[in-house]
Amino acid sequence: MRELSGKHAVVTGGGRGIGAAIAQRLAEQGAHVTLMGRTREPLEERADALRVLTDMHCEAVDVADPASVAAAFDAAARRFGPVSILVNNAGQASSAPFIKTDLALWQQMLDVNLTGTYLGTKAVLSGMLATGWGRIVNVASTAGQKGYPYVSAYCAAKHGVIGMTRALALELAQKNITVNAVCPGYTDTDIVREAITNIRAKTGRSEAEAQGELAKHNPQGRLVRPDEVANAVLWLCLPGAEAITGQAISVSGGEVM
């Protein structure tokens, strides 16, 4: 039994990493999936791989641009109908000491990670209210639950995502719409591989040593796998999770408790 058959799911940042893994889990359960991301090519590649499971659609979008978001979500709704499941996964991380974090970097982190989540949610909420059912899952980060040095803007944005999640969950608690955040620790994705490259460049450490610097935050001593994050997202969307709302669920091997 495919428990999400007939539902329309949108996954932003769906072309690779955590987003691609989430798209696969939703497709396996029968949802029609729209992948959104800044670059169309990886979206189409992922969609082609998943069409054996379900109907797929792709839309290029800049999640920080209101006009781009409106156009992408309108096109998705024309293809598959109102959005039932929204996974706000698109994100970006840049590091700098706070004293070197200029206003442009600060604003970029807020625009992509926080305003992008706001815009995506605004685009689908009226439809969810009209149909009386919805699942919104925001992929935040352990950086929304604690602090890390040299990523103050990113931490601020992800803390904002969790705050918005909690507030909106209360607004919608009697509307059959749940709103949750999933908070991965350091995960084996392009963002983390870029961080490893930066560590190597600045410290001269080997790749294994650089990865170890990040993995040591996880009490299990490893990077999280994208499919582990995807499994948590799927659970929140399946029947039986109706009472789970307003939560920030850490997927981090015990880093945040």
CB 43 within 8 A of CB 15: yes
Tokens 């807020």 correspond to what residue? Answer: 110
Amino acid at site 216: K
**Distance separating alpha carbons of residues 245 and 56, to the nearest angstrom:** 27
Q: Is 40 helix (H, G, I), strand (E, B) or coil?
A: helix
Total residues found in the chain within this entry = 257
Q: Is 119 helix (H, G, I), strand (E, B) or coil?
A: helix
CB 131 within 8 A of CB 84: yes
Going by C-alpha positions, the residue among 157, 91, 177, 86 that lies closest to residue 123 is 86
**Distance separating alpha carbons of residues 240 and 88, to the nearest angstrom:** 21
Q: Which two tokens stand for residue 156?
A: 């601020």
The partner residues of 88 in beta bridges, in order of sequence, read 138
CB 93 within 8 A of CB 137: no
Active site residues per annotation: 154
CB 22 within 8 A of CB 89: yes
Give the pairing type, strands 85-88 and 56-60. unpaired
**Distance separating alpha carbons of residues 228 and 240, to the nearest angstrom:** 19
